[in-house]
A and B are shown apart, each in its own frame.
Chain A
Amino acid sequence: MILLVLVNLMLLGLSRLRTCIRVVAIQGVMLGVLPLILNGWRPEPHLISFSLVIIGLKGIVFPAILIKLLRDLKEHREVEPFIGFGTSMAAGVVMLVVSLAFGAHLPLPGTAASSLVAPVAFFTIMTGLFLIISRKKALTQVLGYLVLENGISCFGAILVEKQPTQIELGILLDVFVAVFVMGIAIFHINREFDHIDTDKLTRLRT
């Protein structure tokens, strides 16, 4: 749990895109292990196979797609934020406090899960949204989307006993296709415009 918080703060402060992708991959692996931890390391086959699928997708496949894209881009590989790294970190701390307060107000009924899960999930969701709005590059927006999705699936990890596995797999499939389609879109943006700065995508107004 604490590790997840640290990972989020790291993401807000990192400047190299490649490292960012790696960090998101690490977060994905942690999420894959999370359902196992929350259910007390019981070796049930469906839990373990589910974890393996998450680790495979979020830890290996998504980063591989993004790294491949990064290699195809011609230009420099910095994050280029609208909001500076120091300010981002400060905003991160504020978001952490807010989500802790929020988590305290909405207690999970009837689950014996760690009391930190809900606040950390909120914090990860907010980090994801913050990354989407504060970074210029289309690629970092995809990273933000992944972090957001990771935060939401923290909740999923608490409820893994209650949700049928087919649904979870359907969600993962959708996210996979989404990342894939976004990857194709970025590839086209890069070819069309010779850059992937979304702040220059402003031809369509009112």
Chain B
Amino acid sequence: MILALLLIPTLAAVLSLLVRHDVLRRMILIIAVAGHTGVTLAAWIHEPAPLHNGWFALDKLGLLFLTITSILFLTCAFYAVGYLSGESRRKTSDAGDDTLFPNTPEAIFCACLNAFLATMTLVMVSHHFGVLWVAMEATTLATATLIYFHRNRHSLEATWKYLLICSVGIALALLGNYFLVIAASTSEKTAIILSDLVRQGHTLNAPWLKAAFLLFLVGYGVKMGLAPLHTWLPDAHSEAPSVISALLSGTLLNCAFLGILRSYQVCCAAELASFCQELFVIFGLLSMGWAAVYILGQPDYKRMLAYSSVEHIGILALGVGIGAGATFGAMLHAVNHSLVKVTLFLAAGNILAAYKTKTAANVKGLLSCIPATGVLWVAGFLAITGVPPFGIFLSEFTIVKAILDQGHMGVAIAFLGILALIFIGMAMTFLNMAQGRRSEELCINHKTDSILTIIPPASLGILSLMLGLYLPPMLSRLLHDAATAIGGF
């Protein structure tokens, strides 16, 4: 089953390079991703057996993140087909620039999209830290091409920053891998497989393990976008095509988070949990605060969404750092944030197609000009800032409750204060964009609302709303199991 998960997107990637016909290639993309989702859902019912001496296995934590990834990928694949058929006809001109530039050939784009899914799946299922590293670096390389879809100067600059900063960061995580091997070298089994390490946690060498965790946190933290290591993130998210921004934000950041959580699991087994939790809380609050500063008065709406991702990544880290009930909150938050952020980025893609600008001040009257996208945009804003009854309210509430239960008054005040600031910052921009009179000169293209560009983000938005009202027992159990694996409940 694990093999099927890995092989389907890999084969599709190879096929997309070979097939010459555009429509056929898009079909392959959809079929491959749908197959992947099908196998993932089957894994809920029947737990797949580990492969290759436990190198590859799908535990509850991996299954949770894999499900998020797979479902989001499926919706984004439909959107991408709509996007590609609109994009392939013309040479695009950049927002604000008059220069014309070509796009990356569609075959390469589709192949990289499939490869991106394959490498992320590999991250989710690998329990050997070496394989995890190889897969994580591979996701960087697969996405670099995707960010450089519009071949112009801005996206090139963003791609270069992304490629270099992430590669260097992930290289540090490789050093963490070696440190982990050294930490485990006292025991008889020296392969760094998660289950073995957790079982013999107490025999690990503590100073080396601490050093390894620090390197993992910094290394994968670069990729995850923890402030102050997030510098590549706003550039890459604002310059990539919106589908790719959505996938980066909704799936890739979770992927890197999973890398950190894997090392945290080992630290918990070695009774170093409190050392790690302090770091999580510090990085979490720092990311939230940093994001709030940049969200207030941010002129570019895609960058604002990118900084909002930094904020929510901070909330995830904070939740895990607080531990106990907040870990469950963090897991639920990962699900909700991914759903809502993809909705917003896809809606932003529609806005960009209609108004041809990323400057928020030049967008007015969304609700009257492109009503469906406008409604999504406002609903997405309410959802992302944690207004009830959306799912994010529920997860943030769980985290705050756990913080208060443990008596960290200062942390709770900082958490709520930053959330209020971000609400104000985002409200000013989002509502100004949504309201206002319809003006023909600003809204260049009215026909961007179509089935393929509205249904995918809308379905995710509704899903997030449903999670806020009713949490299915099956999902709740999975979230609890995942939280138990990383020392919470």
Instruction: Spell out A's residues near B (CB within 8 Å).
Output: 106, 108-111, 125, 129, 132, 138, 141, 145, 148-149, 152, 155-156, 159, 162-164, 167, 170-171, 173-174, 177-178, 181-182, 185, 188-189, 192-193, 198, 201, 203-204, 206
CB–CB B141/A174 < 8 A: yes
A155 to B178, CA, bound (A): 7
Is B157 interfacial (CB 8 A cutoff)? yes
CB–CB B182/A145 < 8 A: no
A130 to B455, CA, bound (A): 49
Q: Which residue of B lies closest to A155 (CB)?
A: B178
CB–CB A171/B160 < 8 A: no
Is B427 interfacial (CB 8 A cutoff)? no
Contact partners of B370 in chain A: CB under 8 A = none
CB distance from B120 to the nearest CB of A (A): 15
Contact partners of B168 in chain A: CB under 8 A = 129, 132, 145, 148
Chain B residues 341-383 with CB under 8 Å of chain A are none
A188 to B160, CA, bound (A): 10
CB–CB B160/A170 < 8 A: no
Is B144 interfacial (CB 8 A cutoff)? yes
Q: Which residue of B lies closest to A133 (CB)?
A: B168
CB distance from A15 to the nearest CB of B (A): 22
> Could you show 25 A-B contacts with beta carbons less than 8 Å apart?
A106-B208, A109-B186, A109-B205, A129-B168, A132-B168, A138-B160, A141-B164, A145-B164, A145-B167, A155-B179, A164-B191, A171-B130, A171-B134, A171-B174, A174-B138, A178-B163, A178-B167, A181-B144, A181-B163, A185-B148, A185-B156, A198-B160, A201-B160, A204-B158, A204-B161
Q: Which residue of A lies closest to B174 (CB)?
A: A152
CB–CB A167/B178 < 8 A: no
A110 to B187, CA, bound (A): 10
Contact partners of A108 in chain B: CB under 8 A = 182
CB–CB A152/B181 < 8 A: no
CB distance from B150 to the nearest CB of A (A): 12
CB distance from A144 to the nearest CB of B (A): 8
Contact partners of A129 in chain B: CB under 8 A = 168
CB–CB A178/B141 < 8 A: yes
CB–CB A167/B134 < 8 A: yes
Chain B residues 290-306 with CB under 8 Å of chain A are 294, 298, 303
CB distance from A152 to the nearest CB of B (A): 5
Supply 16 further A-B pairs (C-beta < 8 A) apart from A149-B171, A170-B131: A109-B185, A149-B174, A152-B174, A155-B175, A159-B178, A162-B185, A164-B130, A167-B134, A171-B134, A174-B134, A178-B140, A178-B167, A188-B148, A189-B156, A204-B158, A206-B294
A201 to B303, CA, bound (A): 18
CB–CB B144/A185 < 8 A: yes
Chain B residues 133-170 with CB under 8 Å of chain A are 133-134, 137-138, 140-141, 144-145, 148, 151-154, 156-161, 163-164, 167-168
Q: Which residue of A lies closest to B236 (CB)?
A: A204
Contact partners of A167 in chain B: CB under 8 A = 128, 130-131, 134
Tell me the dominant secondary structure on chain A's binding face: helix
Contact partners of B128 in chain A: CB under 8 A = 167
Is B93 interfacial (CB 8 A cutoff)? no
CB–CB A170/B164 < 8 A: no
Contact partners of A206 in chain B: CB under 8 A = 234, 294, 298, 303
Is B239 interfacial (CB 8 A cutoff)? yes
CB–CB B163/A193 < 8 A: no
Q: Which residue of B lies closest to A202 (CB)?
A: B157
Of listed A125, A163, A174, A181, residue having the most chain B CB within 10 A? A174
A185 to B5, CA, bound (A): 31
Contact partners of B239 in chain A: CB under 8 A = 204
Is B338 interfacial (CB 8 A cutoff)? no
Task: Knowing A164-B191, A170-B130, A185-B144 are in contact, say whether A111-B158 is a contact too (CB < 8 A).
Answer: no
Chain B residues 190-218 with CB under 8 Å of chain A are 190-191, 205, 207-208, 211
CB–CB A203/B157 < 8 A: yes
Contact partners of B208 in chain A: CB under 8 A = 106, 109
Is B235 interfacial (CB 8 A cutoff)? yes
Bitwise interface map of B from 300 to 322 toward A, beta carbon under 8 Å scored 1, else 0: 00010000000000000000000
CB–CB A156/B164 < 8 A: no
Q: Which residue of A lies closest to B53 (CB)?
A: A164
Q: Which residue of A lies closest to B239 (CB)?
A: A204
A162 to B239, CA, bound (A): 42
CB–CB B181/A162 < 8 A: yes
CB–CB B141/A177 < 8 A: yes
CB distance from B114 to the nearest CB of A (A): 16
Of listed B140, B141, B175, B235, residue having the most chain A CB within 10 A? B175
CB–CB A185/B294 < 8 A: no
Q: Which residue of B lies closest to A170 (CB)?
A: B134
CB–CB A204/B157 < 8 A: yes
Is B238 interfacial (CB 8 A cutoff)? yes
A109 to B180, CA, bound (A): 12
CB distance from A11 to the nearest CB of B (A): 17
CB–CB B186/A152 < 8 A: no
A182 to B163, CA, bound (A): 7
A148 to B168, CA, bound (A): 8
CB–CB B161/A125 < 8 A: no
Top 5 nearest A-B pairs by Cβ distance? A167-B130, A170-B134, A155-B178, A174-B137, A201-B157
Q: A110, A177, A189: which contacts B160 (Cβ < 8 A)?
A: A189
Contact partners of B156 in chain A: CB under 8 A = 185, 188-189, 192
Contact partners of B145 in chain A: CB under 8 A = 181
CB–CB B178/A152 < 8 A: yes
A129 to B160, CA, bound (A): 17
Q: Which residue of A lies closest to B167 (CB)?
A: A178
A203 to B137, CA, bound (A): 27
Q: Which residue of A lies closest to B140 (CB)?
A: A178
CB–CB A152/B163 < 8 A: no
A65 to B6, CA, bound (A): 31
Q: Which residue of A lies closest to B153 (CB)?
A: A192
A193 to B154, CA, bound (A): 11
CB–CB B175/A125 < 8 A: yes
A141 to B140, CA, bound (A): 17
Contact partners of B185 in chain A: CB under 8 A = 109-111, 159, 162
CB distance from A172 to the nearest CB of B (A): 10
